[in-house]
Amino acid sequence: MRRANLRAFTVVELLTVVMILSIVAVLARPLFESTDATRLSAAARLVVADLQYAQMYSISHGDNPMGLKFDTSTSSYTVVQRTGAPPFQCSTAAAVTNPVGGGTFTTTFGAGRAAELVGVGIGSLSLDGDACLVFGSMGELDQTSAATFTLSFGSRSMTISVDPISGEATILP
């Protein structure tokens, strides 16, 4: 009687494959996770993009300035416009409709378009005494000193500074 020629993997071959797959998984893991620094950087870039939107709108619609109103308690901000006669009053500013998809142009970290940024918080604000950062018809701020605010995630934080003359936003580590 002839025995069938059976083929199988040896224990050494199986352990080698498992070890190689483990090494690949350990090396690939950071590519699929959002690290603290990455999440914080993404949040800062999102805020800067919305600042640039408000600045460009204010330049093109000089009679109707736009800015961002921050709410540190909810880690959110809303793009707002002046209502009524000048000057801009943060307390009476109206929320802008988001040009992409409609609805109020509010960004809350951890929800909606910023859902992946859960855990990011808005810390200290230096916006000339109120919670609004507003641009003028030349792209300048409505305050004479630089506007600064801090974003935080875990033990990390980043500061965004906006030049009062040019309105240019800079992300500082």
Residue pLDDT, tens place only, 84-132: 778 888 889 999 999 888 899 999 999 999 999 999 999 999 998 889 9
CA 118 to chain centre: 10
Contact indicator for 166, 157 with CB cutoff of 8 Å: no
Whether residue 18 is contained in a domain is answered as: no
Decide the pairing of beta strands 94-95 and 76-81.
Answer: antiparallel
Is residue 30, in this structure, part of any structural domain at all?
no
> In terms of Cα–Cα distance, which of 157, 151, 107, 149 is closest to 131?
149
What pLDDT, on the 0 to 100 scale, is given for residue 159?
Answer: 97
Calpha distance 153→173 (Å, rounded): 12
* Residue 95 CA from chain centroid, whole number: 19
Structural domain contains residue 11: no
- Could you give the number of structural domains in the chain? 1
Confidence bin at 1 (pLDDT 50/70/90): low
In this prediction, residue 82 carries a pLDDT of 87
Residue range of the domain that includes 97: 36-172
Nearest Cα to 122, choosing from 46, 65, 34, 55?
A: 46
Residue with the bigger pLDDT between 26 and 122: it is 122
Q: Kindly tell me the burial class for residue 26, based on how many C-beta atoms sit within 10 Å of its own C-beta (0-12, 13-18, 19 or more).
A: exposed
Q: Does some domain include residue 49? A: yes
Q: What pLDDT, on a 0 to 100 scale, did the predictor assign at position 95?
A: 95
What pLDDT does residue 160 have? 97
Backbone angles phi, psi at 107, to 5 degrees: -120, 120
The CATH number for 102's domain is 3.55.40.10
Mean pLDDT of the chain: 90
- Alpha-carbon distance 75 to 110, whole Å? 9
The pTM (predicted TM-score) of the whole model is 0.79
What percentage of the chain reaches a pLDDT higher than 70?
Answer: 94
